Amino acid sequence: MRSRDGNSNLSRRLCSVVLFYSLALDASEYLISYRYVVKDAILYNDTLQISKSMKKCQGIVHSDALILDINDSKDLNKIVSENEQEFTSYIHKLGMHINYSDITQNLQNHSTAVLTLKTTCFKVDFNDNFVKIAPLQ
């Protein structure tokens, strides 16, 4: 169907742009970083930081996504804290940077291991009963 001015292609493009941006604004993207420090075989520090992305992240969705059950909550920090063990195992599988040092001084061995997940953008889709979390690559 043509518009009155005879330019139906422009009308379609305008409608598709409006639809695309309305869907893009609904998408949730979060920046997640994780740091795990072990000193002398004892957990010293465990830090997980989650923040909503201020701008759209570039990349495609990783095929292996984590699905967590939710209890009427749309707060990702709360959902992750309730499923901490499962989420930690998932980000360990994604690949982490490992920095290890071992020092022997006066016949005493001291070791430090730091595992770091650099700040990564995750696509998060909230549904009625679950949340789907997948990293962007």
Distance separating alpha carbons of residues 23 and 59, to the nearest angstrom: 17
Domain-wise residue ranges, the chain: 28-135
pLDDT of residue 95: 83
pLDDT (tens digit per residue) in 108-121? 999 999 999 888 89
- Tell me how crowded residue 80 is: count the other CB atoms within 10 A of its CB: 21
Q: Determine if residue 95 is left, alpha or beta; phi over 0 gives left, psi from -120 to 50 gives alpha, anything else beta.
A: left
Query: For 122-136, what is each residue's pLDDT tens digit?
Result: 999 988 888 999 998
Q: What is the pLDDT of residues 10-50, one digit of tens each?
A: 445 544 433 333 334 445 899 999 998 999 988 989 898 99
Helix (H) / strand (E) containing 22: helix 8-26
Give whole-number Cα distances, 135 to 56, 104, 125, in Å: 13, 39, 12
Q: How far apart are CA 101 and CA 39, in angstroms?
A: 10
Tell me the one-letter amino acid at 29: E
Model confidence band, residue 101 (pLDDT cutoffs 50, 70, 90): very high
